[in-house]
Structure 1
Amino acid sequence: MMNLPPHFVKTVTSTFAGGAAWLENLPNLLAECEQRWGLVVHPTNFTLSYNYVTPATLADGTEIVLKVGVPNRELSTEIEALRLYDGRGCVRLLDADHDKGVLLLERLDPGEMLTIVTNDDEMTRIAALAMQKLWRPLPAEHNFPSVADWGKGLVRLHEEFGGGTGPFDEGLVDTAVSLFTDLLASSGEPVLLHGDLHHYNILSAGDGWTVIDPKGAAGEPAYEVGALLRNPFTLFDEPELKQITARRLDILAETLSIDHERLRQWSLAQAVLSAWWSYEDGGDLADWEPTMRLAKVLLEVA
């Protein structure tokens, strides 16, 4: 039996149908990967959330990262996005098996998260440049969810509470719904977005930075900044949250050459949606309240 972190076990079992059975079979799945690809799986030293991620070594001595998860649409679109990025600004996919939920990825060195940079302005500029490297036209046929698809989460919020908003601030929810409607109606040509681009998904590689864990989504570039503004986790301990958020928006608007107000509006709408997703995934007040607090800040930032 594997000694898996309790929070990882809880996340997998509560998020995925069949999650418990998948965890029970995980040792067998890792053994299958070793045999199929001729690799050696090492004990993990990564923080686990929805997938089991661990170092591994190929037969020729190449160090890689093995990522396995309960097969689901999000894991499949990650594989599709990685193939389209093809190592340009994003970690390179070496091989994958959609049906088994297995990804073999290049190992980034030194692989430190963007949070090692202590200056928030510098972190924000690095992240903005990482975004620009990723955005590219969508293929004619693809399976990526659209931003509109994701926005339907707010419909589920109302359904959950019989047309109301439950513990969520009614004014902020109404604002988010209105913004989604208006922004989608006025969006330009969609591109391939990362979909969850924040400080923990930007790693040091050589003398630069490389992105990991793309969700893959179809939407306008302005949508991409929302996840960055909700991170890192320590952000919500900052007494100057409003000033930090305003400064970040200024830097992002300037670096990306995207309208400041559009960035703010998308980020506000996403903050509410993200809070709902946390609630929907079984999170308690401590999981989603800070994000709603950021939504209120974004409402007040000029």
Structure 2
Amino acid sequence: MIDIPTSFARGIVEREGESAHAWVQSLPRLVDEILQRWRCTPTERIVGGGVGIILAVRRHDGSPAVVKVSFPHPGNVYEPHAFATWGGRGAVRLYERDDANFAMLLEQADWQTLDDLGDVDQAIAVAGHLARRLAVQAPPSLPRLSDQVEEWEETLRKDADSLGHPLSQRALAAALATLRDLGRNQPDTMVHGDLHFGNVVRAEREPWLVVDPKGYVGDLAFDALTVLVRGVDSLREADDLEAELRRRLAIFSDAAEVDRERVTRWVQARTAIGAHHSRRVGDPAWAIHLLEQTAEFLAR
């Protein structure tokens, strides 16, 4: 049987509790059964990710692939649906799926990601271009971002009251207006849902492909925030944070072929929501400050 990395097992049990412990214990047998069923041979040791394990394999026809088995969590349900919808368009290909066990056989890509590119502007442009390519017509079975808007509005208002209004009325009003104007009526197109530099990998079939989608349906401008925050270190060092934010938003907007104001409004709303959440859970002060600054700047 295969060996599960100790650090991965410890981390997911600490985060998810006793159910994760039982899942980790079942993984070796499950992976062995999957390898036999899909006629694959491991070629490297298992790598532990944020939500599951990745195992590089050789398929029965000799082609390379990876087996991914994720922890059974609601956030991981729609990943194979997204891959199946895209059919390799801007994303790794899905060869086999076992939804009951949260397992997939996927196209093998490189371990290098946009984080390794060393050029934030180019990385943002690549992510924006992919966001546009991924915005295909979605099937009716996938979760709509528009269905979450009412909850986001309610949470924004409650947090503003309970946290002592850490954001200005202008920033709070701008976020609520965006959710009202843009959130409730969104297009039926695929959205990655977690499009950051670490989820865009080098590949041979195409220069860059996405991995780890959430499989949402809605406005592609929604993904602009997670693209921006991955370059957070250089963002924090900017002499003029507002100017740098707007410059990067312009790069994403142009690459994704979407209206800049629409992108700006979504990022402002999401950072307002994120700032409240970060205060609630006790995130580092610098992270809260950056989110609040962004929400304030982009509300102007």
Two-structure CA RMSD over aligned residues (Å): 3.0
- In structure 1, the partner of 2:229 is 230
Equivalences for 1:4-43 in 2 at 5 Å? 4-5=6-7, 9-15=10-16, 18-41=19-42, 42-43=44-45
Distance 1:296 1:75, change over 3 A: same
Deviates more, 1:53-62 or 1:129-138: 53-62
Equivalences for 1:133-148 in 2 at 5 Å? 133-139=133-139, 141-148=140-147
- In structure 2, the partner of 1:199 is 197
| Aligned counterparts of 1:253 and 1:158: Cα–Cα separation in 2 | 29
Deviation at 1:24, TM superposition (A): 1.9
Name the amino acid aligned to 1:164.
D
Name the amino acid aligned to 1:267.
V
| Aligned counterparts of 2:18 and 2:146: Cα–Cα separation in 1 | 24
Equivalences for 1:113-192 in 2 at 5 Å? 113-139=113-139, 141-149=140-148, 152-153=151-152, 155-156=154-155, 164-166=161-163, 169-171=166-168, 175-185=174-184, 187-192=185-190
Distance 1:182 1:274, change over 3 A: same
| Number of equivalenced pairs | 292
Deviation at 1:85, TM superposition (A): 0.4
**Contact preservation (8 Å) 2:68, 2:103:** yes
Distance 1:144 1:235, change over 3 A: farther
- In structure 1, the partner of 2:64 is 63
Name the amino acid aligned to 1:44.
I
Q: Does residue 249 of structure 2 align to residue 246 of structure 1?
A: no
**Contact preservation (8 Å) 1:269, 1:295:** no
Q: Percent identity?
A: 23
| Aligned counterparts of 1:218 and 1:246: Cα–Cα separation in 2 | 26
Q: Does residue 49 of structure 2 align to residue 51 of structure 1?
A: no
Q: Does residue 211 of structure 2 align to residue 212 of structure 1?
A: yes
| Aligned counterparts of 2:18 and 2:164: Cα–Cα separation in 1 | 27
TM-score norm. by structure 1 comes to: 0.82
**Contact preservation (8 Å) 2:40, 2:57:** yes
Distance 1:28 1:37, change over 3 A: same
Distance 1:89 1:277, change over 3 A: farther
**Contact preservation (8 Å) 2:92, 2:106:** yes
**Contact preservation (8 Å) 1:71, 1:98:** no
- In structure 1, the partner of 2:269 is 269
**Contact preservation (8 Å) 1:55, 1:66:** yes
- In structure 2, the partner of 1:96 is 97
| Aligned counterparts of 1:272 and 1:298: Cα–Cα separation in 2 | 5
Deviation at 1:107, TM superposition (A): 0.3
Deviates more, 1:92-101 or 1:198-207: 198-207
| Aligned counterparts of 2:7 and 2:172: Cα–Cα separation in 1 | 34
Structure 2: tracts of 5 or more residues without a match: none
Distance 1:71 1:254, change over 3 A: same
Deviation at 1:76, TM superposition (A): 2.4
Distance 1:16 1:93, change over 3 A: farther
| Offset from partner CA, 1:211-236 (integer Å, 9 cap, x none) | 11111111122222121112135345
Distance 1:54 1:146, change over 3 A: same
Name the amino acid aligned to 2:242.
K
| Offset from partner CA, 1:90-135 (integer Å, 9 cap, x none) | 1001111111110111101x34101222222222211111111111
SS state at 1:181 partner: helix
**Contact preservation (8 Å) 1:9, 1:23:** no
SS state at 2:194 partner: coil
Structure 1: tracts of 5 or more residues without a match: none
Deviation at 1:183, TM superposition (A): 2.2
| Aligned counterparts of 2:145 and 2:82: Cα–Cα separation in 1 | 13
Deviation at 1:158, TM superposition (A): 6.1
Deviation at 1:20, TM superposition (A): 1.9
| Offset from partner CA, 1:261-280 (integer Å, 9 cap, x none) | 22111012222434566678
